[in-house]
Structure 1
Amino acid sequence: MPMSSCDAIIIGGGVNGLACARRLAAKGRKVLVLEAGAQPGGGAGSTEFHPGFTAPALAHLTQGLDPRLAGAVPVGFHAPLATVIIGEKGPLRVQGGVAEGPDAAAWAVLHARLTRFAQALAPFRRLSPPLLGKGNDWLPLLKNLWGVKGLGRDDLRELMRMILINVHDVGEDELGDDRLRGLLSFDATLGAWLGPRSPNSLILYLDRLARGPDPLLPKGGMAALAGELAKGLEVRANARVEAIVIEGDRAVGVRLAGGEEIRAPLVVSAINPRTTFRDLVGARHLDAGFQSSVGHIRMRGGAAKLHLALDGLPDLPDSKARIVLAPSSHAVETAFNPVKYGEVPERPVMEFILPSAHEPGLAPEGQHVLSAIVQFAPHAPKAGLETARAQMLENSLRVLDGAIPGLRAKILHAELLMPQDIEARFGLVGGNWHHGELAVEQMLFNRPLHGADRYASPVPGLWLAGAGAHPGGGIEGAAGWNAAEAILGARA
């Protein structure tokens, strides 16, 4: 007998699903969140990868929550993390627009200019893409375009020039220190399937900067963030949705893997759009052209996740900083090139933190957890998954030990997740944590695809609220909140 006791079902208890649920609940809707995993958060959860050692499951930092979500949920954060880049000339510390070294003034000027551009573009993240041909839909967009115009003629001309070029050229033109060039290129391409020389790569750096100048770590760790967002909501864990129930061409509920049906007048998917349409809805309920377009959404993940259990504190310039091992823009590009052909880079680039330096309870006393995101990793390795994983781990450890002498001797246990592992563990198709590559041709009107770019799907009663929708992922909740606003506006 189907259960029907809620106004809306949210599929997926990640940050976007929880953000959508909180907004709908605040407006009086009774919401049920269904999470396939054992805890809410998805990639923003935690994992005990070795007895006594707990690491962030996938994401280990955020650039900050969407301001609307942050205003609704009292989430605490540690002080913004400084970044230390380790290159051939040693470590270099950066925080926001302040950098050490001979290029400090050049970095300050460039960072200030890019921050102005990012802040002018930031309001677009909170808008539903306008409906082409519908005049009133363009009013919010035009207001924000006026804000961009407020940059001034020179800045506006410079924004239009820079938004179309690659981040490598910006670094070459504006900076002299290879370490700062490497940081700029690394941050622009983190989680993306492109290198610093790829066209339009600078826009991804602006997208990152629009969310905040420095990375943040929630107090209690990433899992605590999801726990705080889930407070007051009805969340069912270990509840994998097998199908979206369609009756009369309308979504009326879901069926769980165990056969249980739950009915609601509104179904919201905060998981991957391809999984939503191909696996949960099914081709027979979709137009053939739309179904074909779903298959063309690019979802290549290019990052691996590394967890290390350490017997003691490694010799770091700052144990509470984000450490970036990307000694130059060329090093980032060189790490990307082999991945395009299914091969593992000899010298991957990466960022890592010691979560246990902020939260001692994550490791036994005197020991530590290292969490790293390693770029780049092939999502379909030619050598096979097991061989590629072993090679990727060895290459990553060699790079780490070269930058932090003695680190390897402290390793008690190592776990490395390739993009295929990330897909299997978190349901992220291709291992892409944005639920679809974040690239200029898959943004705004084209996210995730035409016909589902305004959170409503072609199936009445079914909406999208995950990172695959505008403006993408990033552990901030903007897509989920935007979706809730679109739902509330449509049902007002």
Structure 2
Amino acid sequence: MTSFDAPARITANAYDAIVIGAGHNGLAAAAKLGKGGRKVLLLEAASAPGGAVRGREFAPGFRSAGLAHLVNRLDPEVACDLGLTLMPKSGPAMPTVVLDGQNEPAVLRGAYGETIDGISASEAEAFGRLRDKLVYQASILKRFLRRPPPQLGAIGMGDISTLAAAGFGLIRKGRAEGRDFLRMLLMNVADVADEYLEDDRLKGLLAFDATLGVHLGPRSPTSLLGLYYRLTGEVEGKAGGQFIPEGGMAAVVPAFLKAAEKTGVTIRCDTRVGRILADRGRASGVVLGDGAEIAAPVIVSAVHPQTTFLRLLDPAESDTGFLRSIRHIRTAGNVAKLDLALERMPNFTGLTGRDHNGRIVISRSMEHVETAFNPAKYGEFSPDPVMEIVLPSLADRTLAPDGACTLSALVQYAPYKLKMGWETGKPAFLKIVLDILERHAPGIGRTIIAADLGTPADIETEYDLPGGHWHHGELQADQLLINRPTRAASGYATPIDGLYLASAGAHPGGGISGLAGWNAARHILSGAKR
């Protein structure tokens, strides 16, 4: 049952579980719980489900698909289990085009550069060796994504099995590969790229992909983890690919929504949760914004952990040490989202027509990404940012009028706490970004009908996302696995009995994978306490 109207007052204890937040993880959690036989109520404050994947009109006749403009981490087991029909628009994976403004583009085809145009044969061979090593190492880490992280002092058989499988995978590759994995695990991406590659464009791409969405530069320790994270995704069984679904990104939310509806989940939009009911460490229901109370033995929060514990839950129910750790989750965003309404499709220099359907990355070199990051350390935006660009209306014609086009770009670095303030800084940053686009797509400026730049502060306001961080917290070594979001709440269960976490702020983090919600629901269905 789906209703996008405000619900009537509900007081009866008619549900086995209440899920807060109808983003894709909330929908995944609700669908899995419903499939497991639970009667589920899903509550969403906005007028429609989708969370940060929810589209919106940003200019008359032009729509944005939300924060995400492509899919690169949808877990195939989640998709199969929930019956999600999200297939690529055309071909197995969209290409990645790297522009530096001087040389011809480097075009990676297949799953993260199975073949590459525009580089030498020797460099393609070197990239292939590095790609194979990184994909293999990411596959070791991927084993830990589909289950709760191991709990120190309470290692179960499932944890032992996963650890054993990871160890066997290393042993099977030989002692040298095992040593190399341990050596590289916490390295920075710049040093690894320098070991294998000469082409600055390829180094710049690896640097960009490793640091997109996190407060790190390519020479920051552990920055390689971001690249591993990206390479855990797959398209048609091949790691590292990205795609736009049939029908565009607008097809993502309906697919998850259909999965939830199919299992009998009741979905209420325009229904803000004002408070999570808890007494003496036990959750028992929610209070809605209109004062209505709904009781349920299980509450699943698919919103930001800070929203859950600092706004929805009475602080008296949590100890001060736990609340301190929640307050100190690093969740300040560093990426701006640009949507352009264009009179016609732009032409990027050196690209063929079909490659405009791919992912376009402006990143000249490793040094370009590093110097773009440096100002963000001091609360300033980059005067020479790096960015990822997609033309969404090429995959979904409903996003723009006939003959017109939309452009979506993720631009970094743009710190949440801008020293000069975003009210002053936004026009200046927008001009910088548009000037860069003009250099790579001459004439694009004359075709702009409207420009909408969403800073991390804007993202926080629009999506009720503390810090404007789309991963609900940094994806760094101290905020992953047993530390996500904090050690006392790292396995979906929390110190409050009956309250579980299922957003990107929980393991394994952000991206359109569905894993955080799906894993949380499986944990609940298993009956495990922790």
TM-score class, shorter: over 0.9
Determine if the alignment matches structure 1 residue 266 to structure 2 residue 298.
Answer: yes
Determine if the alignment matches structure 1 residue 107 to structure 2 residue 127.
Answer: yes
Q: CA deviation at 1:248?
A: 4.0
- What are the within-5 Å matches in structure 2 for residues 93-492 of structure 1? 93-95=107-109, 96=112, 97-100=114-117, 101-102=119-120, 103-137=123-157, 138-146=159-167, 147-212=169-234, 213-231=240-258, 232=261, 233-316=265-348, 317=351, 318-490=355-527
User: In the comparison of the two structures, how many residue pairs are matched?
Assistant: 492
Give 2:105's match in structure 1, choosing from 83, 87, 91.
91
Q: CA deviation at 1:189?
A: 0.5
- Report the residue type matching 2:107 in the other structure: R
Q: Deviations over 1:1-30 (max 9, x none)?
A: 624321111111111111111111111111
- Report the residue type matching 2:297 in the other structure: P
- Report the residue type matching 1:226 in the other structure: V
8 Å CA contact 2:29–2:517 kept in 1: the answer is: yes
Q: Work out the CA distance in 2 between the residues paired with 1:48 and 1:151.
A: 50
Give 1:74's match in structure 2, choosing from 62, 67, 84.
84
8 Å CA contact 1:249–1:460 kept in 2: the answer is: yes
- Report the residue type matching 1:92 in the other structure: A
Query: The residue matched to 1:141 in structure 2 has which SS?
Result: helix
Q: Work out the CA distance in 1 between the residues paired with 2:333 and 2:422.
A: 14
8 Å CA contact 2:376–2:414 kept in 1: the answer is: yes
Pick which of 197-206 and 239-248 moved more: 239-248
TM-score of the aligned structures, taking structure 1 as reference length:
0.97
Q: Work out the CA distance in 2 between the residues paired with 1:149 and 1:190.
A: 32
Q: CA deviation at 1:401?
A: 0.9
Q: Work out the CA distance in 2 between the residues paired with 1:23 and 1:143.
A: 27
Q: In the alignment, which residue of structure 2 is the partner of 1:44?
A: 53
Q: In the alignment, which residue of structure 1 is the partner of 2:30?
A: 21
- Report the residue type matching 1:435 in the other structure: H
Q: Work out the CA distance in 2 between the residues paired with 1:341 and 1:491.
A: 44
Q: What 5-or-longer segments of structure 1 have no aligned partner?
A: none
Q: CA deviation at 1:388?
A: 1.5
Q: Work out the CA distance in 1 between the residues paired with 2:46 and 2:172.
A: 46
Determine if the alignment matches structure 1 residue 30 to structure 2 residue 36.
Answer: no
Shift of the 36–172 alpha-carbon distance from structure 1 to 2, 3 Å rule, reads: same
Q: Deviations over 1:330-352 (max 9, x none)?
A: 11111111111111111111001
Q: In the alignment, which residue of structure 1 is the partner of 2:7?
A: none
Q: Deviations over 1:41-93 (max 9, x none)?
A: 11111111011111121111121421222102232322321000111213110
Q: CA deviation at 1:208?
A: 0.8
8 Å CA contact 2:186–2:221 kept in 1: the answer is: yes
Q: CA deviation at 1:218?
A: 1.9
Shift of the 435–163 alpha-carbon distance from structure 1 to 2, 3 Å rule, reads: same
Query: The residue matched to 2:274 in structure 1 has which SS?
Result: strand
Q: In the alignment, which residue of structure 1 is the partner of 2:4?
A: none
Q: CA deviation at 1:239?
A: 1.6
8 Å CA contact 1:344–1:391 kept in 2: the answer is: no
Q: Work out the CA distance in 2 between the residues paired with 1:32 and 1:218.
A: 28
Query: The residue matched to 2:356 in structure 1 has which SS?
Result: coil
Q: What 5-or-longer segments of structure 2 have no aligned partner?
A: 1-9, 235-239
- Equivalent pairs: percent with the same residue? 45
Pick which of 86-95 and 196-205 moved more: 86-95
Determine if the alignment matches structure 1 residue 10 to structure 2 residue 27.
Answer: no
8 Å CA contact 1:345–1:376 kept in 2: the answer is: yes
Q: CA deviation at 1:143?
A: 2.6
Pick which of 375-384 and 250-259 moved more: 250-259
Q: Work out the CA distance in 1 between the residues paired with 2:108 and 2:186.
A: 26
Q: Work out the CA distance in 2 between the residues paired with 1:453 and 1:195.
A: 26
Pick which of 68-77 and 326-335 moved more: 68-77
Q: Work out the CA distance in 2 between the residues paired with 1:274 and 1:365.
A: 43
Q: Deviations over 1:188-246 (max 9, x none)?
A: 01111111011000011011101121212122232321111111132211222111011
- Report the residue type matching 1:219 in the other structure: E
Q: CA deviation at 1:135?
A: 4.2
TM-score of the aligned structures, taking structure 2 as reference length:
0.90
Query: The residue matched to 1:58 in structure 2 has which SS?
Result: coil
Q: In the alignment, which residue of structure 1 is the partner of 2:65?
A: 56
Q: Work out the CA distance in 1 between the residues paired with 2:226 and 2:95.
A: 20
Q: Work out the CA distance in 1 between the residues paired with 2:165 and 2:272.
A: 40
Q: Work out the CA distance in 2 between the residues paired with 1:214 and 1:491.
A: 34
Q: CA deviation at 1:251?
A: 1.1
8 Å CA contact 1:127–1:140 kept in 2: the answer is: no
Query: The residue matched to 1:309 in structure 2 has which SS?
Result: strand
Pick which of 186-195 and 223-232 moved more: 223-232
Pick which of 155-164 and 245-254 moved more: 245-254
Query: The residue matched to 1:307 in structure 2 has which SS?
Result: strand
Q: Work out the CA distance in 2 between the residues paired with 1:341 and 1:219.
A: 42
Pick which of 234-243 and 262-271 moved more: 234-243
Shift of the 156–472 alpha-carbon distance from structure 1 to 2, 3 Å rule, reads: same
Q: CA deviation at 1:122?
A: 1.0
Q: CA deviation at 1:141?
A: 3.2
Q: In the alignment, which residue of structure 1 is the partner of 2:6?
A: none
Query: The residue matched to 1:150 in structure 2 has which SS?
Result: helix
Query: The residue matched to 1:125 in structure 2 has which SS?
Result: coil
Q: CA deviation at 1:148?
A: 3.5
Q: Work out the CA distance in 2 between the residues paired with 1:328 and 1:428.
A: 32
8 Å CA contact 2:17–2:40 kept in 1: the answer is: yes
Structure 1 segments, 4+ long, off by >4 Å, are none
Q: Work out the CA distance in 2 between the residues paired with 1:242 and 1:277.
A: 12
